[in-house]
Amino acid sequence: MKIGQKAPDFSLKDKSGKDYSLKSFKGDYLAIYFYPKDDTPGCTTEALRFTEDKAKFKKLKADVVGISGGDEKTKEKFCRKHEIDLLLLSDSDFTVSKLYGSFGEKTFMGRKYKGIFRNTFLLDKSKKVIQVFEKVSVDKHSAEVLTAIKSFNE
């Protein structure tokens, strides 16, 4: 995915089994963040920071959605366990992650495997990519996305 490109549409379920697509989001901005796995330390930190900043995103008319593998049950358990108040969608077969170029070979401690990359795509109201964040810092990423949205409002 590159800046200026129209984001691919999708249809994914949240923790309650409700379907969401790009049309579901009506804000001026949409931050789609891909994260590797529910209930892992880095993914928990990232989701908590986005949850803490939820009102700030709303004030900027921006929606935030997290996408990872797993299913509705893993999303529900993850949100309940950590009190995450954020829309998380299940991409159990990684179709959407692949469409967004956020799935592929990774290396951890010398072991190679396939998984979701920690990427975020910031879209404008017309659902075009206006910024791409790759290899983000989980603790600071929510603030980084907020700063980017504010810069587009100047």
Cα 106 to Cα 2, 25, 93, 112: the distances in Å are 21, 31, 17, 6
Instruction: Tell me the pLDDT of the chain (154 aa) as tens digits.
Output: 899 999 999 999 999 999 999 999 999 999 999 999 999 999 999 999 999 999 999 999 999 999 999 999 999 999 999 999 999 999 999 999 999 999 999 887 888 889 999 999 999 999 999 999 998 899 999 999 999 999 998 7
Alpha-carbon distance of 17 to 1, in angstroms, equals 27
Q: Kindly list the structural domains of the chain, giving each domain's residue range(s) and its CATH number in brackets, ordered by start.
A: 26-153 (3.40.30.10)
Terminal CA-CA length for the chain: 25
Please count the residues of the chain: 154
- The 10 Å Cβ neighbour count of residue 19 is 11
Catalytic annotation on 79?
no
Q: 43, 65, 67, 86: which one is catalytic?
A: 43
Alpha-carbon distance of 102 to 83, in angstroms, equals 26
Q: What is the pTM of this model?
A: 0.94
